[in-house]
Amino acid sequence: MAFDVTKHTLVSKHLKVSDTEKESVFKQYNINSKDLPKILKDDIAIAHLNLKVGDLVKIERVSKTAGIAVYYRVIIEG
């Protein structure tokens, strides 16, 4: 049985971003996917989300100063 990293306290919550939400993120920051930070498609933290290349992942990090800090990554070919 493999260890489930997503349950680890140090692994931030990775969430799927819907297409409409993705558009609104692009619009909010006036960017497109090449300006975003990347994450490999086969990264274990997003393996359970069944995403495809080009999708966005929303990462909710626990921050000491800000409570929850939101971060986005675009999925690239592994």
Partner 1 sequence: MINSVHKKINSIVFSIFSPKQIIDSVSAKIVTPELYDREGYPVDGGLMDLRLGVIDPGLRCKTCNQKLKECPGHFGYIELARPVIHIKFVRQILDLLRSTCRSCGRVLIPDEKVKRYVSMLNKISDDEDAEERRKKVKEIISKYKAKDKCPHCNSKQEKIKIEKPYNYYEGDVRLSPIEVRARLEKVHEEDLVIFGFSSSNFRPEWMIITIMQIPPVTMRPSITLESGERSEDDLTHKLGDIVRINQRLFENINAGAPEVIIEDLWDLLQYHITTFFDNEVSQLPPARHRGGQPLKTLTERIKSKEGRIRHNLAGKRTDFSARTVISPDPLIGLNEVGVPQSMAMHLTVPERVTEWNKEYLRKKIENGPKKYPGANYVIKSDGRRKTITDETKEEILGELEEGYVVDRHLVDGDIALFNRQPSLHRMSMMCHIVKVLPGKTFRLNPAVCNPYNADFDGDEMNLHIPQNEEARAEAKILMLVETQIISPRYGLSVVGCIHDAITGNYLLTKELVFTRNEAADLLYGCGVEDLSSLPDKDRIDGKEVFSVLLPNDFNFVGKDKSGNQVKIVNGLLKSGLMDKSNLGQESGLMLRNIFEKYGPAYTADILGKISKLGIAVLARRGFSIGIGDLDLQNEVSEEISAIVKKAETEAHKLIDSFYAGNLEALPGRTIAETLELRILEALNRARNKSGDVAIRQTKESSALTMAKCGSRGNPLNIAQMTAVVGQQALRGKRIEAGFNGRTLSYFKKGDLSPKARGFIKNNFKSGLTPNEFFFGAMTGRDALMDTALRTPKSGYLYRRLSNAMQDLKVAYDGSVRDASGRVVQFTYGEDNLDVSKTKNGVIDVKEIIQQTIGEKK
Footprint of partner 1 (CB under 8 A): 28-31, 34-37, 61, 63, 65-66, 69-72
C-beta of 32: minimal distance to partner 1 in Å?
Answer: 10
C-beta of 62: minimal distance to partner 1 in Å?
Answer: 10
C-beta of 59: minimal distance to partner 1 in Å?
Answer: 10
> Hey, how many other C-beta atoms are within 10 angstroms of the C-beta on 40?
14
Using the minimum distance from each CB to partner 1, give the nearer residue, 20 or 28: 28
As given in the structure block, the two tokens for residue 58 are 């929303």
List, in order, residues 6 or more apart from 8 with CB less than 8 Å away. Answer: none
- Nearest-angstrom CA–CA distance, 23 and 25: 5
